[in-house]
Chain A
Amino acid sequence: MEEEAGMFRVHQTIGSVLCCKCGIPMAPNAANMCVKCLRSEVDITEGLQKHVIILHCPECDTYLQPPRTWIKAQLESKELLTFCVKRLKNLSKVKLVHAEFVWTEPHSKRIKVKLRVQKEVLNGAILEQTYIVEYVQQDHMCDSCSRVQANPDQWVAAIQLRQHVSHRRTFFYLEQLILRHDAAARAIKIKQMDQGIDFFFANRSHAVKFLEFLGKVAPIKSRHDKQLVSHDPKSNNYNYKYTFSVEICPICREDLICLPPKVVVSLGNLGPLVLCTKVSNNIILLDPSTLRHCFMDADQYWRVSFKSLLSSRQLVEYIILDVEALSSEVNVGGSKYALADAQVARVSDFGKNDKIFTIKTHLGHLLNPGDYALGYDLYGANSNDIELDKYKGFSLPDVILIRKSYEEKHQRKRGKPRHWKLKSLNMEVDSSTRGRIDEEKMYSEYEEFLKDLEENPEMRFNISLYRNKEYQHSEVASMTDGEDVPSVPLEELLADLELNDEDNDDESMKG
Chain B
Amino acid sequence: MATRLQFENSCEIGVFSKLTNAYCLVAIGGSENFYSTFESELADVIPVVKTSIGGSRIIGRLCAGNKKGLLVPHTITDQELQHLRNSLPDQVVVQRLDERLSALGNCIACNDHVALTHTDLDKETEEMITDVLGVEVFRQTIAGNLLVGSYCAFSNRGGLVHPHTSIEDLDELSTLLQVPLVAGTVNRGSEVIAAGMIVNDWTAFCGSDTTATELSVIESVFKLREAQPTAIVDEMRKSLIDSYV
Q: Which residues of A contact B98 (CB under 8 A)?
A: none
A1-42 near B? 1/0 per residue, CB < 8 Å: 100000000111111111111110000100111000000000
Given the complex of chains A and B, what is the CA–CA distance between A163 and B231 in angstroms? 118
> Does B213 interact with chain A (Cβ within 8 Å)?
yes
* A-contact 0/1 string along B203-218, CB 8 Å cutoff: 0000000011110110
Could you show 7 A-B contacts with beta carbons less than 8 Å apart?
A14-B164, A15-B167, A17-B163, A17-B183, A28-B163, A32-B185, A32-B189
Chain A residues positioned under 8 Å from B164 (CB to CB): 14, 28
Query: CB < 8 Å: which of B166, B188, B212, B214 contacts A13?
Result: B166
Most buried by B among A17, A22, A122: A17
Instruction: Chain B residues near A12: list those with CB within 8 A.
Output: 166-169
B14 on interface, CB distance cutoff 8 Å: no
Does B170 sit at the interface, judged by CB under 8 A? yes
B211 partner residues in chain A, CB cutoff 8 A: 20-21
A16 to B164: give the CA distance in the assembly, Å: 8
B130 at the A/B interface (Cβ < 8 Å)? no
**Chain B 185-208: CB-based contact to A (< 8 A → 1; otherwise 0):** 100111100000000000000000
Question: Mask for A116-128, Cβ within 8 A of B = 1, else 0?
Answer: 0000001000000
What total of chain A residues lie within 8 Å of the partner, measured CB to CB?
A: 20
Partner of B189, one of A1, A11, A20: A20
User: 10 tightest A-B contacts by CB?
Assistant: A32-B189, A23-B213, A12-B166, A28-B163, A17-B163, A32-B185, A13-B167, A20-B189, A15-B167, A20-B211
State whether the Cβ of B37 lies closer than 8 Å to any Cβ in chain A.
no
Complex interface bits, B142-156 against A, C-beta within 8 A gives 1, otherwise 0: 001000000000000
Inter-subunit contact B188/A10 (CB<8 Å): no
Which residues in A have their C-beta under 8 angstroms from that of B165? 15
- Would you call B73 an interface residue if the criterion is a C-beta within 8 Å of the partner chain's C-beta atoms? no
In the complex, whether B184 has a CB less than 8 A from a CB of chain A is: yes
Cβ–Cβ contact B166 & A18, under 8 A? no
**A18, B167: Cα distance in complex, Å:** 14
Chain B: minimal CB distance from A121 (Å) = 11
CA distance A16 to B184 in the complex (A): 9
Contact B213 A18 (CB under 8 A): yes
Q: A15-B165, A23-B213 are in contact. List 6 more A-B contacts (CB 8 A).
A: A11-B168, A13-B168, A15-B183, A17-B184, A17-B185, A32-B191
Contact for A18 among B144, B168, B191, B217, CB less than 8 A: B217
CB-CB < 8 A to A13: which residues of B? 166-168
Closest B residue, CB atoms, query A11: B168
Output the least CB separation between B55 and chain A (Å). 31
Identity of the chain A residue whose Cβ is nearest the Cβ of B217 in the assembled complex: A18
Q: Which residue of A has the minimal Cβ distance to B213? A: A23
Shortest distance from the beta carbon of B24 to any chain A beta carbon, whole Å = 26
> Which residues B80-139 have CB closer than 8 A to chain A?
none
Say whether A21 contacts B213, CB under 8 Å: yes
Taking the closest CB of chain A, its distance from the CB of B182, in whole angstroms, is: 8
Instruction: Evaluate whether A28 and B183 lie within 8 angstroms (CB atoms) in the complex, with A12-B166, A13-B166, A14-B166 already known.
Output: yes
How far apart are A7's CB and chain B's nearest CB, in angstroms?
Answer: 15
Q: Is the CB of B213 within 8 A of A32?
A: no
Q: Establish whether residues A20 and B214, one from each chain, have CB atoms under 8 Å apart when the complex forms.
A: yes
- For the complex formed, measure the closest distance between the CB of A10 and the CB atoms of chain B, giving whole angstroms: 5
* Residue of B with least CB distance to A33: B189
CA distance A1 to B144 in the complex (A): 7
Contacting pair B213 A15 (CB below 8 A): no
Evaluate contact between A23 and B216: CB separation under 8 angstroms: yes
Chain A nearest Cβ from B115, distance in angstroms: 22
Contacts of B144 in A (CB 8 A): 1
Contacts of B185 in A (CB 8 A): 17, 20, 32
CA distance in complex: A17, B186 (Å): 11
Contacting residues, chain A, for B190 (C-beta < 8 A): 32
A11 to B167, CA, bound (A): 10
Q: Contact at B213–A19, with CB atoms within 8 Å?
A: yes
Known pairs A15-B183, A23-B216; A31 contacts B189 (CB<8 A): yes
Q: Bound state CA distance, A18 and B188, in angstroms?
A: 11
Closest Cβ–Cβ distance, residue B207 to chain A (whole Å): 12
Q: Which residue of B lies closest to A21 (CB)?
A: B211
Bound CA–CA A32/B196 (angstroms): 15
A32 with B168: CB separation less than 8 A: no
Residues of A within 8 A of B163 (CB): 17, 28, 32
User: Which of A12, A21, A28 has most chain B Cβ within 10 Å?
Assistant: A28
CA distance in complex: A85, B191 (Å): 39
Q: Which residue of A lies closest to B190 (CB)?
A: A32
Q: Which B-chain residue is minimally distant from A28 (CB atoms)?
A: B163
Shortest CB-to-CB span from A500 to chain B, Å, is: 74
In the assembled complex, the Cα of A19 lies from the Cα of B216 at a distance in Å of: 12
> Chain A residues near B213 (CB, 8 Å)?
18-23
Q: Which residues of A contact B170 (CB under 8 A)?
A: 15
Residues of B within 8 A of A19 (CB): 213
Q: When the two chains form their complex, are residues A20 and B216 in contact, meaning their CB atoms are under 8 A apart?
A: no
B216 to chain A, nearest CB (A): 7
B179 to chain A, nearest CB (A): 17
Interface string of A235-268 (1 = CB under 8 A from B): 0000000000000000000000000000000000
The residue of chain B having its C-beta at the shortest distance from the C-beta of A32 within the complex is B189
Q: Residue on A with the closest CB to B212?
A: A23
Chain B residues with CB under 8 Å of A10's CB are 168
In the bound assembly, the distance between CA atoms of A14 and B165 in angstroms comes to 7
Contact partners of B166 in chain A: CB under 8 A? 12-15
**In the complex, what distance in Å separates the CA atom of A402 from the CA atom of B144?**
102
**B188 adjacent to A20 (CB under 8 Å):** yes
Among A13, A16, A32, residue most surrounded by chain B Cβ atoms (within 10 Å): A32
A269 to B233, CA, bound (A): 139
Q: Chain A residue with minimal CB distance to B168? A: A10
Give A23 to B170 CA distance when docked, in angstroms: 20
Would you give the shortest CB distance from A210 to chain B, in whole angstroms? 71
Question: How distant is B171 from chain A, measured CB to nearest CB, in Å?
Answer: 10
Within the complex, what minimum Cβ distance (angstroms) separates A25 from chain B? 11
- Which of B144, B166, B167, B189 has the most C-beta atoms of chain A within 10 angstroms of its own C-beta? B189
Contacts of B169 in A (CB 8 A): 12
Instruction: Kindly provide the distance from the CB of A18 to the nearest chain B CB, expressed in whole angstroms.
Output: 5
**Separation of A13 and B216 alpha carbons in the complex (Å):** 25
Provide the residues of chain A in CB contact with B191, threshold 8 Å.
32
Min Cβ gap B215→A in Å is: 10
Q: Smallest CB–CB gap between A456 and chain B, Å? A: 89
* Smallest beta-carbon distance A126→chain B, Å: 15
